[in-house]
Amino acid sequence: MRLRALLDTDALGLRLLGGDDELDRTVRGVMTTDLRDPSRYLSGGELVLTGLAWRRDATDSEPFVRILASAGVAGLAAGEAELGAVPADLVEACGHHRLPLFAVNETVAFATITEHVVRQVSGERAGDLAAVVDRHRRLMTSGPAGGGPEVVLDLLTSDLDLRAWVLSPTGRLIAGAGEPLPGPVGPALAGLHLAATRTGRRGPHRVPVDGTTYSLFPIRNTGRGAVPASRDVRETVLSDWFLAVEADASDWPAARLDLLQGVTQLIAVERDRRDAARTVRRRVAQEVLELVQAGAAPTEIAARLRVAAPVLLPGLGSAPHWQVVVARVEWAADGAPGAAGGPVAQALLEEILVDPAVTGPDSADRIAVAHTGDEAIALVPLPAVPAPGAEAAQGAADTAGAARAGAASGREPDPVLHADVLLAAVREPLSAGLADDGRLTLGVSAAVHSAEGLRGALEEARHARRVAAARPGRVCAAGHHELASHVLLLPFVPDDVRRAFTARLLDPLRDYDTRHRAELIPTLEAFLDCDGSWTRCAARLHLHVNTLRYRVGRIEQLTGRDLSRLEDKLDFFLALRMS
């Protein structure tokens, strides 16, 4: 607002005492002070209100006004309640420094002037930002992106003093301005947002987290060209982004709420563009999946993988190893048509597979997810995996959260996906979104190094998902290591899974025997046949007991199993019988 506008409001009781040629100055704020030197609290553009308590005699006016002028304030308003008329020495000093001076009638409270200025300045800032938002919306809907969500979030911070972040449905940071959210706050906000959305309440949702109040705005594109809104909130609740603002929006005026809704629509346009960019990766996954399920020749699948690798692993040219992840979202029947599970699972799997160490909308560029029926299937390229023996040993630590966490200990992070680790950070918010009628189950295959292994990996991941489905809880996962358990080796288990079971346990031993002629397989058979007796087994094999202990130790090292445990003995027994 301009200084001139203050004289147009009779309720403020202001009289201009000097500086009529400076009334076009812009007022950016207001400050009340009676300090002799308030410079540390001034940033420029303020209307300074003073009761003149700092003035002891006429010589005090000149240094006080000089400090205000040096700080770049817009004007000075002096109250008449303390000294009556504004002193002439103050009028003279303001004239000398070309600082507009107003007299405030003793019947007018400084709070009245402050409230008026703040309201006018905030309204103008909101109007300016709304114009910027509208301009960016036109740019983003008609051409290339104009900087992404960060641009408008920076404007919210600089023009309205609002800290805001765009978060995914799991609480992952998409974009933000200023300081990032503390680690656990994002998932906590996501859970509260999903829970509120499932109740059907309209946003914004006011929520407290760790003593701070946030307002959560759903991000949906409702403008021209937007995808029609879903009739069932379950179809979008687990894939929509949301805007978290560090403020209580419950008492905001309608104009500011409308502005924030405009911001969310602007970000939604960017979200839609990112979704469109995933089309190529989804098509890649769909084509490979169709070839695998149709029983295509490995050479044909391998050729398609060579085409897919540069898309999913730019710069590497090929992916030496692959993993398959299968997810399914199921909703309880309630008499109404159920939400489509396949697309929901596809969007969820794309979110879950994002590396948590990477932020931003582009962090899912290496994820290819297809869906068929109610099932989503991800084809995950791995630039490298541990050696066979190391991977088997890693199986014992699968539930310990070692995957993708090596960097914390100075080691290279393990690129292999592990089921429990994938869901560790997202289980709580997703459970809130699934509420009491939804369920997510997920299965992860072992890494395979060729096209020949993809069909088996797909069946392995599907079977692992069925294992997860047998467990209690809204969000459950199972990995390929859990398939090496005798409870699954029943007649109805597919042949592919039987082969995967025996290969998982015995292939490391066969490979070692081939290279070193160590006779680990015969040693294992004899050890089990002797019921784990060291002396009887050593006598049967004509070995010293220490030599037998060395061989058994090598078997345990290569497979990650413990032959002192009954469960592991039984698994080896079944694997040997089926091999």
Residue 166's Cβ-side half-sphere holds a number of Cα atoms within 13 Å equal to 27
Q: Which two tokens stand for residue 535?
A: 């002396």
- Give the relative orientation of helices 545-559 and 388-395 as an angle to the nearest 10 degrees: 80
Q: Which CATH class is domain 154-275?
A: alpha beta
**Which parts of the chain sit beneath pLDDT 50?**
139-145, 224-230, 335-337, 359-363, 387-412, 487, 489-492
- Enumerate the domain spans of the chain: 4-108, 154-275, 279-483, 500-578
pLDDT in tens, 290-324: 888 888 888 888 888 777 766 666 655 555 688 89
Q: Which of 322, 300, 292 is nearest to 309 (CA)?
A: 322
- Residue 366: what pLDDT? 64
The terminus-to-terminus CA distance of the chain in angstroms comes to: 84
Predicted pLDDT of residue 48? 94
Residue in this structure with the two tokens 């929006």, named with its chain if needed: 249
The counts of H helices and E strands in the chain are: 19, 15
CA pair distance 38, 68, nearest whole angstrom: 8
Give the homologous superfamily in CATH for domain 4-108: HprK N-terminal domain-like (3.40.1390.20)
Residue type, 574: L
For residue 274, the model assigns a pLDDT of 79
Calpha distance 341→349 (Å, rounded):
12
Question: What pLDDT is attached to residue 66?
Answer: 94
Cα gap 399→419, rounded to integer Å: 8
**According to the model, what pLDDT value does residue 414 have?**
59
**Cα–Cα distance measured from residue 400 to residue 117, given in angstroms and rounded to the nearest whole number:** 58
Give the helix/strand (H/E) hosting 132: helix 110-142
pLDDT of residue 183: 79
Q: Are 372 and 540 in contact (CB under 8 A)?
A: no
Supply the pTM of this predicted model: 0.59
Opening angle at CA 163, ends 162 and 168, nearest 5: 130
Phi, then psi, of 452 in degrees rounded to 5: -60, -30
pLDDT on residue 487: 47
Pick the CATH number of 279-483 from 1.10.287, 3.30.70, 3.30.420, 3.30.450: 3.30.70
- What is the per-residue pLDDT for 54? 92
**Separation CA 172–CA 358 (nearest Å):** 9
- Residue 358: per-residue pLDDT: 53
**Coil, helix or strand at residue 448:** strand
Q: Are 24 and 1 in contact (CB under 8 A)?
A: no
- Structure confidence at residue 147 (pLDDT): 58
The correct answer on CATH 1.10.10.2840 for the domain covering 500-578 is yes
